[in-house]
Amino acid sequence: MSNSPLIALDAVTKVFLTDEVETHALSGIHLDIHKGEYVAIAGPSGCGKSTLLSILGLLDTPTDGTYLLNGRPVQSLALAERARIRNREIGFIFQSFNLIGDLTVFENVELPLTYRGMPAAERKQRAQAALEQVGMGHRAKHLPSQLSGGQQQRVAVARALAGSPAVLLADEPTGNLDSKNGEAVMNLLADLHRGGATIVMVTHDTRFARHAARSVHLFDGRVVEENAFTKAAESSL
């Protein structure tokens, strides 16, 4: 891994104002994530996990502090530039899959690439390769409604991979799956990490946090504990 972090948060704070009440969702977060790491952000409901992931994914902005992505400050970028970086450098895996129901599996994976103005031939090659990587190439012409929950999440992973992002952000990726499919998705993420992917996963389940190489525990918007798992791959067995 490089000495310079891919992601660097310094004193990041997020305050929500509602009816003159201040809610401190994040308070002074310091966090470095290097290329090739697999980090789980864990903690109970309401601890700030999803807020932190939204900031990492440039879906939200910190109230204070700095966020460097690939050495570049991104916390104050204009909306258009944030959208461009999300499309090119960040892959999202959502709890609810977020597949478009009237598009085929292949079209769902290909769609984000069209926003880049990528030539059709390259889009098709990337989409097919991503589907093959997650074991869903044979389902390319199916609609999401024709797939199980586990298969839909694999398609969602393929969609995130197709753009060759710098980092994959997974928001409770097993939250809508039964235990068997949840384990299958966790094993898939572990395989991607072994292949060199940088992954940041939010989870409230400590069992799944141990699949990562490092876990960061939040409580009341603060980092209260960090653990390193030197044999993360074994915990997925």
pLDDT in tens, 124-172: 999 999 999 999 999 999 999 999 999 999 999 999 999 999 999 999 9
CB 201 within 8 A of CB 212: yes
Q: Which sign, positive or negative, has the C-alpha torsion 66, 225, 5, 182?
A: negative
- Give per-residue pLDDT as tens, 166-224: 999 999 999 999 989 999 999 999 999 999 999 999 998 888 888 999 999 999 999 99
What percent of the chain lies above the pLDDT cut of 90?
A: 81
CB half-sphere exposure, 109, CA atoms < 13 A: 35
CA distance 7 to 126: 26
- Give per-residue pLDDT as tens, 17-74: 888 788 999 999 999 999 999 999 999 988 999 999 999 999 999 999 999 999 999 9
pTM of the model: 0.90
| Domains, the chain, ordered by start | 35-54+77-236 (3.40.50.300)
CA distance 6 to 142: 36
